[in-house]
Structure 1
């Protein structure tokens, strides 16, 4: 069945959230006098980036690992980290051109996790608040990725079925596995060339959105078969 709807993740798919987080962590570290920091800045940053969630909690854990445990110093770091939530946040260069190009062929939408105030402000700051006809923010609908419901809400707004919808995102669980279990064609946006370590492999892996666009063109022309949604294997009983 032809792909008629493409849904995008936001952070680290359309915009470089990891870079912004890195810059904010560096700002937090440099707010502390160097004599109190027992590890190199880059080591602390990499440890924070390795945490499951890129939040202040990850920064605090990384700082404590570097010997920064005094509350006054942590509060100083927190103030620097929180001074601009969107510091250094930028779109990847291919994001808007590819979305515009794809919109000539398919309907597009955005599905993102996070508080509405933050994610909506992020869209405004990035200049893409009106780029997508469909925008689903987890706080606004009361359910978040990887739950199937949030994907199905986007489908309902678009009037599409799961098997004619592609979802592209960077997170192995929230995006790839979540979309697959919801019945969508899952695409892993692996910009950094990481090794796959998720539970459900994606139907397609791309290193850029232009790569996705070229695949969509190939599928539409019939020169390449379209990917199929993941189907759970149901074992019979004796």
Structure 2
């Protein structure tokens, strides 16, 4: 029986459109160029931030991030950034008595912005707040701590990235669901890593059937 469902954030709950568009605008590059480069580095299995390094070789990402924040052009998040099925499925899961946790690789600020959205969730945390990022063992140990009194085989981790979500969550003993959404979710949907998930879904509402005994 699944007692806790834990959600990745980027391209699981939140669209990344605004994030990459804001970086393109900040660096003075066409949005299409940045989007295309993100797709290219993802296909190569590289860090998606490498797209920004291709636009501006030698870029100090931490310094640029701070400069954007200081200029009032930093990270933003509101209702329009959520996928349409997010609120309905979170509310439905809570209505079924399932503990809902949100935990992904994001900054401290994104954690704050998510909490301000007042989503139907019992716990929200980011890698920036934890000081541990996926796919590390420490991140998923934190996930288990956040799952309340549910054991690892009663906790389901949902994400779009086979290498960052499915594989390490399974290694930590959690149940896993691979979501076919976003560039990672679509590109690697038919890889052995994605196929190893306990469930493979095309939308979050499918989770209500999975958790119902």
Provide TM-score, normalisation by structure 1.
0.68
How far apart are 1:112 and its partner, in Å? 1.7
Query: In the aligned structure 2, how far is the partner of 1:180 from the partner of 1:171?
Result: 13
| Partner in structure 2 of residue 112 of structure 1 | 104
For the Cα contact (< 8 Å) 2:94–2:120, is it kept in 1?
Answer: no
CA 1:41–1:7 in structure 2 vs 1: closer, same or farther (change >3 Å)?
Answer: closer
| Partner in structure 1 of residue 168 of structure 2 | 178
SS for the counterpart of 1:6 is strand
SS for the counterpart of 1:153 is helix
SS for the counterpart of 1:7 is strand
| Partner in structure 2 of residue 59 of structure 1 | 52
What's the CA shift string for 1:51-88, capped at 9, x where partnerless?
Answer: 33344x52241466xxxx9xxxxx9xx96x98232278
Bigger RCO of structures 1 and 2 (CA < 8 A, at least 6 apart): 2
Query: In the aligned structure 2, how far is the partner of 1:53 from the partner of 1:206?
Result: 24
For the Cα contact (< 8 Å) 2:76–2:113, is it kept in 1?
Answer: yes
| Partner in structure 1 of residue 94 of structure 2 | 103
Q: Aligned runs of 1:70-149 on 2, under 5 Å?
A: 83-86=73-76, 90-105=81-96, 106-116=98-108, 118-124=109-115, 127-128=117-118, 131-149=120-138
- Structure 2: unaligned runs, 5 residues or longer: 59-63
Query: In the aligned structure 1, how far is the partner of 2:179 from the partner of 2:137?
Result: 19
| Partner in structure 2 of residue 227 of structure 1 | none
- Structure 1: unaligned runs, 5 residues or longer: 33-39, 70-74, 221-238
| Partner in structure 1 of residue 197 of structure 2 | 202
Ranges of 4+ aligned residues in structure 1 off by more than 6 Å? none
Query: In the aligned structure 1, how far is the partner of 2:32 from the partner of 2:204?
Result: 29
Rg larger in 1 or in 2? 1
For the Cα contact (< 8 Å) 1:48–1:62, is it kept in 2?
Answer: no
SS for the counterpart of 2:13 is coil
SS for the counterpart of 2:95 is coil
How far apart are 1:210 and its partner, in Å? 1.2
CA 1:142–1:11 in structure 2 vs 1: closer, same or farther (change >3 Å)?
Answer: same
Q: 2:154 aligned with 1:154, yes or no?
A: no
CA 1:10–1:83 in structure 2 vs 1: closer, same or farther (change >3 Å)?
Answer: same
Q: How many residues align?
A: 193
Query: In the aligned structure 2, how far is the partner of 1:172 from the partner of 1:120?
Result: 23
CA 1:60–1:15 in structure 2 vs 1: closer, same or farther (change >3 Å)?
Answer: same
Q: Over the residues paired in the alignment, what is the CA RMSD in angstroms?
A: 3.1
